[in-house]
Amino acid sequence: MSEKTADFSQVNHVGITVSNLEKSIVFYEALTGKKVSNVDEIGGKRMAQTQGLEDTRIKYANLHLNNLNIDILEYVVPKSDKASYSNDQISAMHLCFEVEDIDAAVERLKAIGVEPDGEPIVFQEEDGLKSGFGTGVAYFRDSDGTNLELIAPKGPFRRE
């Protein structure tokens, strides 16, 4: 048996399945201010079996952020329908971008043509939490409906 440990304390990437790779590259580059580092394609039976599929062909791009990579994935085979998740549905996930100023970040969203799902808020005692007051949040979606969030963290929402 290997001496290596199975430590899951660091995240490498999040994969986002999209309908159009090129269109999504434009969106995520505009959103993050970063350029994709790689555009490629992978597929075949070996890759498919890792995901429980019969066959697959995936066009993808890698976008490197300061603390996380985003893999933007367009499945050519099998071609799939759009999933529809809201944040309240079991198994729904969202990707959250950390910002310093929630209002400035929302203005940046609007400048690239993205409207938040609702008005941003700053957590207050009336919101029912016991800590993290002053944390600002806003939710939005990419063109395929992927749930995304902005957070200007305070208290326990800050990563040390």
CATH number at residue 109: 3.10.180.10
Domain boundary among 49, 77, 105: 77
Q: Which domain holds residue 48?
A: 13-77
Burial of 84 per CB tally in 10 Å (0-12, 13-18, 19+):
exposed
**149 in the same domain as 100:** yes
**148 in the same domain as 109:** yes
Q: Is residue 2 part of a domain?
A: no
Q: Is residue 86 part of a domain?
A: no
**17 in the same domain as 69:** yes
What is the rounded average pLDDT of the residues 124-153?
A: 96
pLDDT above 90 covers a percentage of the chain that reads: 84
Cα dihedral sign for 81, 29, 38, 5? negative
Give the pLDDT band (50/70/90) at residue 59.
Answer: very high
Per the structure, how many domains does the chain have?
Answer: 2
Asked whether the predicted pLDDT for residue 75 surpasses 80, the reply is yes
